[in-house]
């Protein structure tokens, strides 16, 4: 559930960043910084939680990276479908 929820959250973050860049590049940069400011602590927490549930460090890192890359897909989706 943590991974699925985080992936959906990252998709929506990407969409928000993509929309913000469409409004204005400065707004996009500020939005990206705000997303990073709340994502970094969340990802650290997710990392610790998944480790405590028995996943290996390597697997947790891979899952978190793949989940984070979904934000790129969200941003690109906004650009493509706008």
Q: Which two tokens stand for residue 69?
A: 């890359």
* pTM for this entry: 0.91
Q: How far apart are CA 20 and CA 36, in angstroms?
A: 14
Q: Write out residues in the chain with pLDDT < 70, as ranges.
A: none
* CA atoms 12, 73, 51, 45: torsion sign: negative
pLDDT of the residue at 82:
87
CB 75 within 8 A of CB 35: no
Pick from 7, 10, 30: nearest CA to 20: 30
pLDDT of the residue at 60:
96
Question: How far is C-alpha 56 from the chain's CA centre?
Answer: 21
Q: How far apart are CA 41 and CA 59, in angstroms?
A: 19
């Amino acid at each position: 559930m943590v991974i699925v929820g985080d992936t959906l959250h990252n998709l929506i973050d990407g969409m928000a960043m993509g929309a913000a860049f469409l409004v204005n590049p400065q707004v996009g940069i500020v939005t990206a910084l705000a997303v990073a400011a709340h994502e970094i602590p969340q990802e650290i927490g997710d990392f610790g939680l998944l480790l405590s549930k028995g996943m290996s460090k390597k697997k947790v890192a891979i899952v978190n990276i793949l989940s984070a890359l979904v934000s790129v897909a969200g941003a690109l989706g906004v650009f493509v479908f706008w």
